[in-house]
Amino acid sequence: MITYFSCFRTCLCVARRLAFLIKKTYYKTIKHKGVITMKINLSSFLQLRFNIFMCKKIGWKITFFYITCLGRLYFFFNRKEKQKIKSSVKEVFAGPKSRSEIRSITRDIFRGIVSHYYEKFFNAYSSPETLRAFVKTHMESTGTGAIERGLSRGRGVLLITGHVGGIELIPAFLCNKKYPVTMIVRFSSAHMRNTAMKQSNNFSTRIIDADNTPNVIKAIFDNLKENRVVLTQCDEIDEWRPSKNNIISFLGKKINLDRTMNIISKRGGTSVVFGVMHRNYNHRYKFIGTSIEEIKKQFKQLTGASVGEIVLKYLEQYIYKHPEGWYQWKKYPAMKEIPSSGVIVEQPLYLPQLRPFLGRLA
């Protein structure tokens, strides 16, 4: 009897707090041209103190469904952002996919966004023992030899990935393999910064705080000199440094190539590996690593291409194959497309052979 009463009281407490969140969310919204938009983003909304408290108390299995409900609540109020994601998906897949396929892809993408934030919470707030056990029982890998060969040269490894799959879990996976890991992070809140710093100490992981490091590029070089694996992303759209001379096609848009990856990779002797943490069903993951040399050897059409071109095209093929894994769809409209008139553009580096290669992930 006491057990049922306790469960009822807990459910009632959660219902009251959710009602409060809905009310608080309403007051944190603005209405522009008939469209409701929240003043806080999804990350900040999920990191409200009560949500963090609940995720710590209700267990990780229930937390996934809790975050799913919060995600639906967020997109109910922020319909403008939801529509932006839908429009981006439609623009990319309008040709090769039917309307029903696009609707299915879009639903999977929203599920992927929820999964990303669940992984973010799990990585930040689970105990070191729980996280280590999860890595051992839920993750497998292929291509880690590329990282090991790079470290054997003694000049560090630049591990490039994208905002895809279970990226939040890559540092824990690599540390479980005893690799010295440094990751570049931009935090959405001071609380998340403090939590991440505390968790990184449990795994001997270094963090380069992009917002509080005077010279991020120098910090990356210093860590590479110490023969560490430096994890970075090639699709930080807000932080791109466009090159006026290098034009590339990415997800159907002709854009100026970001110079960042080329600048970092030109450091003498540094090995470059492209890696993704592919998300399978039932919270199963597979890390896939491929060195730049292996990619060039397998695909002759990449001969002469820069590292920035290679990793972005490689990421593009992954997104085409697994669009639900990319959670940057809302930023797709922010990619400035080069006008077609008066611009001479080389043939884009399209790699149809990568599709089946990236398809063997289960």
Can you give the pLDDT at residue 341? 52
Q: What angle do CA 218, 204, 222 make, to 5 degrees?
A: 15
- The reported pLDDT for the residue numbered 120 is 92
- Lowest-confidence segment of 37-46, 170-179, 242-251 by average pLDDT: 37-46
With a cut of 80, say whether residue 197 has pLDDT above it. yes
pLDDT at residue 34 tops 90? no
- The stretch 117-134 carries a mean pLDDT of 93
Cβ of 20: how many Cβ atoms within 10 Å?
11
Domain boundaries, the chain: 27-125, 132-359
Q: How confident is the model at residue 170 (pLDDT cuts 50, 70, 90)?
A: very high
What is the rounded CA–CA span in Å between residue 14 and residue 53?
A: 11
Give the pLDDT of residue 12. 53
Please write the tens of the pLDDT for every residue from 316-361.
Answer: 999 999 999 999 999 999 888 887 654 444 444 444 333 333 434 4
Give just the sign of the alpha carbon dihedral 102, 122, 51, 330: negative
Each residue's pLDDT tens digit, 225-280: 999 999 999 888 878 888 888 888 899 999 888 888 888 888 767 899 999 999 99
Q: Return the number of other C-beta atoms located less than 10 Å from residue 87's C-beta.
A: 14
Using alpha carbons, select from 164, 167, 70, 159 the residue that is nearest to residue 122.
167
Residues 6+ apart with CB under 8 A from 198: none
Q: Check whether 35 has a pLDDT greater than 80.
A: no
- C-alpha pair distances (Å), 32 with each of 43, 78, 162, 331: 22, 11, 33, 20
Q: Give the tens place of pLDDT for each residue, 78-92.
A: 999 999 999 999 999
pTM to 2 decimal places: 0.84
DSSP string, 89-118: HHHHHTTTS-HHHHHHHHHHHHHHHHHHHH
- pLDDT: which is higher, 310 or 337: 310
Q: Report the pLDDT value the prediction gives residue 23, as an integer from 0 to 100.
A: 54
The CA distances from residue 198 to 7, 183, 201, in Å, are 32, 14, 5
The answer on pLDDT for 184 being more than 50 is yes
Strand (E) or helix (H) holding 137: helix 128-138
Among 202-211, 267-276, 285-294, top mean pLDDT goes to: 285-294
Helix or strand holding residue 194 (H, E):
helix 190-202
Q: How confident is the model at residue 186 (pLDDT cuts 50, 70, 90)?
A: confident
**Residue bearing the bigger pLDDT, 277 or 202:** 277
Which residues have C-beta within 8 Å of that of residue 271, sequence separation ≥ 6? 146, 149, 150, 151, 153, 155, 156, 157, 158, 291
Cα dihedral sign, 252-256-259-265 = positive
Distance CA 358, CA 336 (A): 28
The pLDDT of residue 316 is 92
Give me the pLDDT at residue 298, please: 76
Helix (H) or strand (E) holding 125: helix 99-125
For residues 135 and 284, is the Cβ–Cβ distance under 8 A? no
